[in-house]
């Protein structure tokens, strides 16, 4: 009988108190973390859609630093492609906001390394 009580106390201690060997219980996320992450993804997607037109002048400015004349046209073309990419990623993030994930593209006007 004493062995049963000892086993119950150990089970309570390990599983309810969150001190499972290997700290497995401490690595679980809470519902608050989940709602924060899906809210962040929804806002990031909406921000990507709304800020997508800014890709054209930003890319033009970056390309015009190296070559002023041809950089205007190449920056406009690349900016249009980057704008369409940002819209697609933003719509995808808004549509799948229930599945939290990390940022996939850098913020607008972020110069490549």
Asked if residue 34 is part of any domain, the answer here is yes
Domain that holds residue 45: 29-95
- How many domains are there within the chain? 1
Residue 86 covered by a domain:
yes
Q: What would the pLDDT profile of 40-79 be if each residue is shown by its tens digit?
A: 999 999 999 999 999 999 999 999 998 989 999 999 999 9
Answer yes or no: is 21 within a domain.
no
Task: Tell me the angle at which helices 31-51 and 68-95 cross, rounded to the nearest 10 degrees.
Answer: 140
- pTM of the model as a whole: 0.68
Residues 98 and 92: their CA atoms lie apart, in Å, by 11
Cα 104 to the center of its chain, rounded Å = 6
Residue 104 predicted with pLDDT over 80: yes
For the residues 8-36, what does the mean pLDDT come to?
62
Asked if 18 contacts 26 with a C-beta cutoff of 8 angstroms, the reply is yes
Average pLDDT, the chain: 82
Residue 1 is assigned to a structural domain of this protein: no
Burial of 65 (0-12, 13-18, 19+ CB in 10 A): exposed
- Is residue 83 in some structural domain? yes
| 44 occurs within a structural domain | yes
């Amino acid at each position: 009988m004493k062995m049963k009580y000892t086993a119950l106390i150990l089970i309570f201690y390990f599983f309810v108190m969150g001190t499972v060997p290997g700290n497995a219980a401490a690595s679980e996320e809470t519902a608050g973390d989940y709602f924060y992450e899906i809210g962040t993804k929804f806002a990031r997607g909406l921000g990507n859609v709304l800020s997508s037109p800014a890709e054209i002048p930003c890319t033009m400015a970056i390309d015009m630093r190296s070559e002023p004349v041809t950089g205007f046209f190449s920056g406009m073309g690349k900016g249009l492609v980057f704008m369409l990419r940002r819209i697609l990623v933003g719509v995808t993030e808004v549509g799948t906001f229930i599945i939290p994930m990390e940022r996939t593209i850098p913020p607008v006007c972020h110069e490549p390394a």
